Amino acid sequence: MQALVDGVAETHGRLDILVNNAGITRDTLLLRMTDEQWDEVINVNLRSVFVAVRASLRPMMRGKFGRIVNIGSVSGLSGNPGQANYAAAKAALVGFSKTVAKEMGAKGITVNVVAPGFIETDMTEVLGDAVKTAVLPNIPVRRFGKPEEIAAAVAYATSDEAGFLTAQTIVVDGGMAS
């Protein structure tokens, strides 16, 4: 990761934006969850963010500017049965992001979380029709979100206009977690 970040900074003269959008699920009730299921989700959803952010900070500090957005989940804010590993990783992203924001704010680097709800993606495509039907009444706008709606939140959080936005979690979930 360090070589990749250094290569981008060298090729383009700087590194301004990092969006961490890694995420997997290995859903099962905690009583049945294996150590491997726990570790795999924590490694992909949390450890990879730590590695990428750490690698990106020095180039951003040299440029005196940086926008970091970590993609979380409403599951990390409210929990979700069968997702102890996923919810734990996404909740940890919030604390991690707030901490890095406080460490790096004076260096011109902001760090925020965008926490999607149910979005039309490959991850939600595998949900059965019964699950989708059961979820919809809990979403005030009565639909799943679109990837473009998450992209719009990320675009704002990485923009020049978002220089005063840091250590925040932007929830994009159609009102579900409110």
Which residues carry out catalysis? 86
Select from 68, 73, 90 the least CA-distant residue to 20.
68
Strands 169-172 and 66-71: unpaired
Whole-angstrom distance, CA of residue 109 vs CA of residue 68: 7
Would you tell me how many other CB atoms lie within 10 Å of the CB of residue 27? 14
DSSP secondary structure string for all residues of 77-138: HH--TT-HHHHHHHHHHHHHHHHHHHHHGGGTEEEEEEEE-SBSSHHHHTS-HHHHHHHGGG
- The torsion angles phi and psi of 25, rounded to 5 degrees, stand at -125, 150
**Structure-token pair, residue 12:** 């383009």
Would you tell me how many other CB atoms lie within 10 Å of the CB of residue 60? 25
